[in-house]
Amino acid sequence: MIQQQLPITDITHLIPQKSPFVMVDSLLDFKENQVVSSFKIKEDNLFLKNNSLLESGLIENMAQTVALHTGFDFFLKNEQAPTGYIGSIKKVEILKLPVLNDIITTKVEILHEFDGITMVAVKVFNAINEEIASGEMKTVIAR
């Protein structure tokens, strides 16, 4: 198994999304049932409108953080990460939209994982550790 120091600031090889659609910048923490990412809202972001990150951008950040867990897990095993898809999103609550230059931290807890289907709980925090969004997602590995 490969060893890797955290944080990792070049995560492009760990997720399937490519610029300009990348909504995570760094892998801050990784455990078997948890992952934490960070993301700085920049001016060229596709989901930026009137200096705020749209709800769809927050949801994409949540999904990409889940993908980051899968990608890093496979990287540690020196295996090619599979492509995954969002199976469902539920209980999403957006409390506050981050704005240009904010750095958000996204924490994913893996609730269940079976046969390529993963159920997660996600929380997004701003720089002062205030929860700004949460939700549950089911992701599915393509076969």
Report pLDDT for 116: 87
- In sequence order, the 6+-apart residues with CB closer than 8 A to the CB of 24 are 11, 15, 37, 38, 39, 61, 64, 65, 68, 106
Q: Which two tokens stand for residue 45?
A: 């972001």
pLDDT band for 83, please (50, 70, 90 cuts): confident
pLDDT band for 1, please (50, 70, 90 cuts): low
Q: Which two tokens stand for residue 81?
A: 């990460």
* Confidence check: pLDDT of 3 > 70: no
* Domains contained in the chain, CATH given: 26-141 (3.10.129.10)
Report pLDDT for 63: 93
Report pLDDT for 2: 65
Q: How far apart are CA 124 and CA 135, in angstroms?
A: 9
Burial class for 7, CB neighbours closer than 10 Å (0-12, 13-18, 19+): middle
Q: How far apart are CA 131 and CA 39, in angstroms?
A: 15
